Structures are given as C-alpha cells and as structure tokens.
C-alpha cells in the first residue's frame, strides 16, 4: 500500500472516530460552580455621590464574597437555559462615603443574598465542545474553543439587612421599623423576599470535551428599595423609641449632625433629621452585581439504540 495513503488514513481515521463518537454522545446538560465577588448599589454607602443603580456608584471597600451552583440545558449551539442557586453577601457604610449627605446620615448595613434564578443565554459563536485530540493542521480540529455570551432572566431573592450598633453587635433591622413601618401614618413593613432580573455578559474557554472555565459579570436589578433598610422618609424618632426601644431609635437616625448649613443644615456644623425628610432616594430601586469565575462540566449521555425487528 502507498505510504502516503497510510499516512493520510492515520490522520483522518482518528478524526472520523471522534466525530462519530461525538454524534452518539450529546452534551445537553452542563454543571457550573461559580465563585467571586459582589457589590451593592443602593442608598447606603457608595461613592462620592447620591445613590444610583449602576456601576458609577461602585465602592470596592464593601466588596463581599459570592458563590453559586447551576445547571445549563443546551440543545442548540446558539442558546441555552440555565437554572442557578446563588449565595452571597452585600453591604454598605455611609461613613466611608465622601458625599456630605450620605456621610452625615451614617447608616450602615450588611445582608445575605439567597437567589434562585432562571436565565436565557445567547451565544455569539457555536459551541464546538472541545476536542479529544490536539492535532495541528487537521480540518475540524481546534486548539481553543472560546465562547462569549449574554444572558438575561428572572429570579427571587431573600435578604435580611442588619445594622452594627455602637457595641459592635449586629441587629436585624426589618423588625425595628426604622422608617416607622407599622406605626400610624408610616409605611407597611417590607417583605424579605423580592424579585430580581439578572442581566450580563460572560465568556468561557474549553479545556476538553467536558471541562471549561469562564468568567461572568452580571447586574441584578430588583423590585425593592430596602435591601439596605433605607428607601423612604424619616419618621418621628421619639415614636420609634416608644414603640421599639432605644436601639431602634438609634438605627432610625444615627446621623453625625455635621451637615453644613450651606448644604441645608439647621445651623453651621449642626443637622438633625426631622420627620418627613428624605432618608433614602426613591428614584431608584436597589441593585447588586456579581463578578465571578466558573468551572463547567458537561454531563455526557449516549443515545439509546433501537434494535431492528428484522
């Protein structure tokens, strides 16, 4: 037999076998492990401006950890559905903000975030799935399989804001009614569960047919303004004290009373909140962001073969 033909067969046969094996073995499901950091965007803390809902209010000093598990269903090369469960922490502290009103308000908080969510993913390139053999200059063989994608979805999340008291202890803020929740003329108590809308971008690179690593950045827009327990107006501090005690009165208004007169203070160097004054910014709902690295594993399965009756 011609030596050249032998060489050609030696190169082509493995690729044909791999391609046949890939057709028999589909990779519709993929497990994901995510680890990274989260940051809060709301009324409390932030940068040198009044609270917003986007990254220009980012403050790295309150970055906290986040992790998540997910499963991806992909029956098409260009789109997928993913369900995930995320756990993280968010926090904010007015004391580290250089914006005068925020700094004087002096509110702080931290909260866990527990988020089950479902999202749609759209891919800019086809998923080739990686290759078992790494042969140069062979048609159909790729050394790297890099994919970029966008995602959007919906989820629920649980939160429980807590504030740090002067003795260093942390207290759950929702039961304290810091904006007069449940008191005459005050707002109703907010729910610890709300809806979020994940939106972001990601990319991943295949290591082999089953394993890949990647990174994601995603915003979570929400339907609540109380992840930081701050979203409305000041209530009578004496009424809060009478209803819930000294600790509740402190968290309702821990202001430093150093807001300058030229910026709206009662007198030079003295300012104290009055009932009806704005405590939070009602223009924006709270948001939080996840920045993560992930490891992905495709779950293989073989198609069932049906035996011929003849």
Residue in 158, 222, 162, 224 with CA at minimum distance from that of residue 192 = 158
**Alpha-carbon distance 251 to 274, whole Å?**
15
Give the residue-averaged pLDDT of 107-136. Answer: 80
CB 271 within 8 A of CB 255: yes
Q: How confident is the model at residue 20 (pLDDT cuts 50, 70, 90)?
A: very low
> Phi-psi bin for 186: left (phi > 0), alpha (psi -120 to 50), beta?
beta
Neighbours of 299 (CB within 10 A): 13
Distance CA 120, CA 265 (A): 49
Q: Is the pLDDT of residue 46 over 50?
A: yes
CB neighbourhood size of 200 (10 A): 19
| Positive or negative: CA dihedral 183, 188, 191, 197 | negative
Give every CB contact of residue 65 below 8 A, 6+ residues apart in sequence: 35, 36, 37, 38, 88, 89
Confidence of residue 19 (pLDDT cuts 50, 70, 90): very low
Q: Specify the 3-state DSSP secondary structure of 119.
A: strand
Q: What is the DSSP letter of 263?
A: G
Domain boundaries, the chain: 26-170+189-234+285-302
What tens digit of pLDDT does each residue of 172-199 get?
Answer: 999 999 999 999 999 999 999 999 999 9
Residues 6+ apart with CB under 8 A from 306: none
Query: What confidence tens digit (pLDDT) does each residue in 61-73 have?
Result: 889 999 999 999 9
> Which pLDDT score, from 0 to 100, does residue 222 have?
97
Q: Are 148 and 227 in contact (CB under 8 A)?
A: no
Which has the closest alpha carbon to 212: 4, 30, 23, 8? Answer: 30
Helix (H, G, I), strand (E, B) or coil at 295: strand
Up-side HSE of residue 228: CA atoms within 13 Å toward CB?
Answer: 32
Confidence of residue 310 (pLDDT cuts 50, 70, 90): very low
Encode pLDDT of 194-253 as tens digits. Answer: 999 999 999 999 998 899 999 999 999 999 999 999 999 999 999 999 999 999 999 999
Residue 103 — φ and ψ, nearest 5°? -60, -45
Q: What share of the chain is helix, strand, coil (3-state, %, to 5)?
A: 20, 40, 40
Q: Residue 242: CB partners within 8 Å, gap ≥ 6?
A: none
**pTM for this entry:** 0.80
Assigned CATH topology for domain 26-170+189-234+285-302: Porin (2.40.160)
**Maximum pairwise Cα distance, the chain:** 101
C-alpha span between 66 and 114 (Å, rounded): 10
d(CA 134, CA 258): 67
- Residue 257, C-beta contacts closer than 8 angstroms, at least 6 positions apart: 104, 270, 271, 272
């Amino acid at each position: 037999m011609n030596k050249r033909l032998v060489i050609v067969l030696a190169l082509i046969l493995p690729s044909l076998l791999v391609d046949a094996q890939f057709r028999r073995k589909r990779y519709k499901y993929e497990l994901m492990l995510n680890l990274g950091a989260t940051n809060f965007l709301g009324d409390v803390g932030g940068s040198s401006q009044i609270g917003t809902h986007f990254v220009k209010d980012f403050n790295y000093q309150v970055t906290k950890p986040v992790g998540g598990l997910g499963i991806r269903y992909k029956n098409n090369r260009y789109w997928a559905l993913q369900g995930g469960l995320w756990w993280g922490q968010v926090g904010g502290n007015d004391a580290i903000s250089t914006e005068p009103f925020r700094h004087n308000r002096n509110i702080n908080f931290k909260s866990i975030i527990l988020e089950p969510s479902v999202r749609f993913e759209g891919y800019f390139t086809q998923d080739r799935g990686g290759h078992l053999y790494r042969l140069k200059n062979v048609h159909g063989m790729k050394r790297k399989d890099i994919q970029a994608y966008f995602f959007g979805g919906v989820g629920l999340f649980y939160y429980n804001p807590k504030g740090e008291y002067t003795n260093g202890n942390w207290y759950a803020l929702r039961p304290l009614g810091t904006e007069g929740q449940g008191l005459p003329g005050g707002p109703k108590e907010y729910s610890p569960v709300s809806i979020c809308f994940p939106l972001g971008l990601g990319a991943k690179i295949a290591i082999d047919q089953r394993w890949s690593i990647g990174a994601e950045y995603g915003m979570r827009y929400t339907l609540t303004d109380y992840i930081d327990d701050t979203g409305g107006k000041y209530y009578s501090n004496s009424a809060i004290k009478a209803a819930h005690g000294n600790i509740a009165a402190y968290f309702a208004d821990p202001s430093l009373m150093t807001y300058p007169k030229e910026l709206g203070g009662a007198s030079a160097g003295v300012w104290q909140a009055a009932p009806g004054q704005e405590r939070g910014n009602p223009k924006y709902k709270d948001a939080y962001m996840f920045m993560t690295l992930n490891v992905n594993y495709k779950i293989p399965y073989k198609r069932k073969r049906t035996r011929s009756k003849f």
